[in-house]
Amino acid sequence: SIVYLDGKWLPSDEAKVSVFDRGFLFGDGVYEVVMVYNRQPFRLEQHLTRLFRSLDQTGIPNPLGMHEWRFIIERLIDQNEGDQQSIYIQVTRGVTAQRSHTYPTGLVPTVFASSQSISLQKKDTRRNPPCSAITLEDLRWARGDIKSTSLLGSVLLKKMVAESGKDEGILYRDGIVTEGTASNVFIVEKQQIITPCVSDFLLTGITRDFIFELAARYQMVLLEEDISLSRLQEADEIWMSSSTAEIRAITELDGLPVGTGKIGPVWTRMAKLYQKHKSELF
Ligand code: PDD
């Protein structure tokens, strides 16, 4: 595939970064994952706005303007195959002369963007099958609101999930649900949809925001509230959301059925609305 690296368009195996790039040495960078449906980026503006916020929060200067970012993403989609793609965008603080935790001013951020085409089988109606989850203590850092490339916490948690043979980990801090290892979490209680409040401990998902818009448009009740572990266990439905997973029903939690153990009616409705509106720019 063709990737973008610091102003150049290259075959992926020719794109090279310095070993003194702070992204490599410290995970000192931020990123975004953007879906492409029918060759159109989904919610690009929102993803770029969040990228700018992550840059701002980490003090990495934004190397490009909105128009340049848009141009790069559009060109990346053009140069790669597949009607459905997932775009990866990463900005690191840049390259230094030697390894040091503190960084000098005036570094030039490293900008990388690539695209992966999404397989045909994932496009069919079984695209979002129900999945299983385990609960895990959230051992990541306290700034989950920044989409940072420092993902060791998530990697270790995902490893525990993989070893359990389940699909996703639902994380909690002091007994309160934060999010999934790479997704946001929702529950349904008597037709009402609940998701954790925005905080420093979780990422405000673009998919989460989209679900809020759909709920408002179709008069479905969606509230932001603390979700304790016992509330999670007693929920009628549990969902997870992310750009790549879209919205998925979790029908098994810690080896026990969620509600009836089958896909719930509120998820079914929301998932249909999601598919209906995801190619629409509203
Ligand atoms: N992850 N929370 C975390 C920790 C995430 O990593 C993600 C997304 C989300 C959902 O955000 P969004 O709806 O904007 O995709 C929530 C991406 C897909 C990833 O790391 O690959």
Q: How far is the CA of 31 from the centre of ligand 1 (A)?
A: 10
pLDDT in tens, 240-258: 999 999 999 999 999 999 9
**Domain-located, residue 100:** yes
Domain end among 123, 141, 159: 123
- Give Cβ neighbours of residue 271 (< 8 Å, ≥ 6 apart): 128, 246, 247, 249
Residues 250 and 135 occupy one common structural domain: yes
* Ligand 1 pocket residue status of 205, Cβ below 6 Å: yes
Residues 113 and 141 occupy one common structural domain: no
Return the best residue to mutate from 203, 212, 244 for the ligand 1 pocket (most ligand atoms within 8 A of CB). 203
**Domain-located, residue 162:** yes
Residues 137 and 273 occupy one common structural domain: yes
Residues 236 and 105 occupy one common structural domain: no
Does 124 have pLDDT greater than 80? no
Does 42 have pLDDT greater than 50? yes
Residue nearest to atom 6 of ligand 1 (CA): 182
Q: Is the ipTM of this complex over 0.95?
A: yes
**Domain-located, residue 59:** yes
Q: At what angle do helices 206-217 and 265-277 cross, to 10 degrees?
A: 100
**Domain-located, residue 77:** yes
Average pLDDT of 10-17? 98
Return the bridge partners of 257, or none.
Answer: 252
Residues 129 and 211 occupy one common structural domain: yes
Residue nearest to atom 4 of ligand 1 (CA): 182
**Domain-located, residue 86:** yes
Domain end among 105, 123, 141: 123
Eight-state DSSP code of residue 138: -
Percent of the chain at pLDDT exceeding 70: 96
**Domain-located, residue 204:** yes
- Name the residue range of residue 10's domain: 2-123
CATH code of 240's domain: 3.20.10.10
Residues 100 and 29 occupy one common structural domain: yes
Average pLDDT of 35-55? 97
Residue 244 CA: nearest ligand 1 atom is 18
Residues 96 and 145 occupy one common structural domain: no
Q: Catalytic site residue 158?
A: no
Q: Name the strand (E) or helix (H) holding 180.
A: strand 176-180
Q: Which residue has the tokens 């719930």?
A: 264
**Domain-located, residue 153:** yes
- Give Cβ neighbours of residue 147 (< 8 Å, ≥ 6 apart): 30, 31, 32, 50, 51, 54, 203
Does 121 have pLDDT greater than 60? no
Number of domains in the chain: 2
pLDDT value, residue 127? 65
Residues 186 and 172 occupy one common structural domain: yes
Residues 90 and 224 occupy one common structural domain: no
Residues 251 and 119 occupy one common structural domain: no
Active site residue: 16, 147, 276, 278, which one?
A: 147
Domain end among 78, 99, 123: 123
pLDDT in tens, 62-93: 999 999 999 999 999 999 999 999 999 999 99
Tokens of 188: 């349904």
Return the best residue to mutate from 30, 32, 33, 209 for the ligand 1 pocket (most ligand atoms within 8 A of CB). 33
Which residue in 213, 208, 217 sits closest to 239, CA to CA? Answer: 208
Contact 133, 180 (CB under 8 A): yes
* Ligand 1 pocket residue status of 207, Cβ below 6 Å: yes
Average pLDDT of 18-27? 98
CATH code of 106's domain: 3.30.470.10
Grade residue 282 by pLDDT with cuts at 50, 70 and 90.
very low
DSSP-derived 3-state class of residue 233: helix
**Predicted TM-score (pTM) of this structure:** 0.96
Grade residue 280 by pLDDT with cuts at 50, 70 and 90.
confident
**Domain-located, residue 52:** yes
Q: Name the strand (E) or helix (H) holding 70.
A: helix 66-79
